[in-house]
Amino acid sequence: MRNIYFFTILFFCISPLFAKQIEVCSTCDIKTIKEAILIAEDGDEIIIKRGVYKEHGVILINKSVKIKGIGMPIIDGEFKETILKIKADNFSIEGLKIINVGQSYTKDFAAILVSKSRNFTIKNNILEDVFFGILIEKSHYGTIENNDVSSHAKDQASSGNGIHLWHCSNMQASRNTIHGVRDGIYFEFVKKSKIFDNNSYDNLRYGLHFMFSNENEYFDNVFTNNGAGVAVMFSKFIKMRNNIFTKNWGSASYGLLLKEIYDAEIENNTFEQNTIGISVDGSTRINYKKNTFSRNGWAIKIVGACYENDFAQNSFLNNALDLSYNSKINSNKFDNNYWSDYTGYDLDKNGIGDVPYRPVKLFSYIVHNTPEAIILLRSLFVDIINFSEKVSPVFTPDNLVDNSPLMKNTND
């Protein structure tokens, strides 16, 4: 007790002038993180030393402190509730291993919950067996960097998301690894934020999920073997660059789902071995440029109500079906793409095929109307009808053509 008094007096004297360090360990004066936070002041640094701390419901309010773990101290929530709750500006959390977050069907328990905060950093943490990993509400200018979030999600109803942002802006999520949760990264009502260099795999639902989030960017991420890849829904002005979407393979899977998206840029991405590379539904003014689609079931599946999409300089390599298209052409354009199925010639040697290419085959048109017909894939009969349709198109939209298909694959 005396120590605490001593420290408290000391803080009141010194803290306005100097930031001090508070050490937490099993042999220190301060043994729990809760105590440390209680006595901490603005600008202090809480150093948590190696050890296991069985704590949950730790609350940090209105104190700008730095919490730093040395030697990866373990904070074990014992499956009770949210472990760290924070509402403060200018704080940071670094080098902690937070495990065992409680599960709930009514409350969103998280390893780290941040609400109404500004200018914070959460980095180099390991979060294991979480319900929600990092849950951030109504916060701005935060950085979430180099965290490893994982869990053992069994079904969607009883699991949470790795990094969940709600009503935030100007956030940055980078170099995180997320696996075994429901959605790897979930953005809901988030503006002007960046997601890059993350690796999101083996998640139950989506690797990355956008809802009502405008003007965001995500690039250089890898999304592998998630329930359904990446979903971008009801959002505007999203930039997607240099991402890799692979092995999102399953009966209702896709690499990227676009639903009600406007004015997006999709550039330089790689879609490999997905059931559907990109599934597009009600999306308008989107530029697809320099993407590579290889060995997907469908490279692109356009469901309907899509206007003024521009597909240029993409490579379509060995997909079972390149394009599935159900409605009118609706001023969507295909130009300068490379199609591995293209059989035309280039007499003037300018690298552009002299014969237009029709990406929609009769068979993909039939499969669109009668899904069961997919069982005839690669049958000789199907090859014959595809060929005859190619020679004289009757069923497939006759203005859906790539007038200048490339002769060589330009994206490597």
Using CB under 8 A, list all residues that contact another protein: 249-253, 273, 275, 295, 297-298, 318, 320, 366, 369-382, 384
C-alpha to C-alpha distance for 48 and 147, rounded to whole angstroms: 18
State in angstroms the smallest separation of the CB of 322 from another protein.
13
Nearer to another protein, 166 or 201 (CB): 201
State in angstroms the smallest separation of the CB of 383 from another protein.
8
State the greatest distance between any 2 C-alpha atoms of the chain, in Å, as a whole number: 93
* CB-neighbour burial class of residue 215 (10 A; exposed 0-12, middle 13-18, buried 19+): middle
- Classified as helix, coil or strand, 354 is coil
State in angstroms the smallest separation of the CB of 357 from another protein.
21
Nearer to another protein, 303 or 373 (CB): 373
Nearer to another protein, 36 or 321 (CB): 321
Residue 300's nearest CA partner among 404, 308, 309, 263 is 309
State in angstroms the smallest separation of the CB of 197 from another protein.
28
State in angstroms the smallest separation of the CB of 379 from another protein.
5
Nearer to another protein, 142 or 297 (CB): 297
- Residue 274 burial (CB count, 10 A): 29
DSSP annotation of 237:
S
Contact 67, 93 (CB under 8 A): yes
Question: Sign (positive/negative) of CA torsion 223, 226, 229, 235?
Answer: negative
Nearer to another protein, 77 or 297 (CB): 297
- Classified as helix, coil or strand, 233 is strand
C-alpha to C-alpha distance for 31 and 8, rounded to whole angstroms: 16
Packed helices 380-391 and 362-369: angle between N→C axes, nearest 10 degrees = 110
Nearer to another protein, 19 or 373 (CB): 373
Nearer to another protein, 64 or 225 (CB): 225
State in angstroms the smallest separation of the CB of 279 from another protein.
11
Residue 337's nearest CA partner among 288, 371, 376 is 288
State in angstroms the smallest separation of the CB of 200 from another protein.
20
Q: How big is the chain, counted in residues?
A: 412
* Alpha helix ranges (H) inside 19-65: 33-39
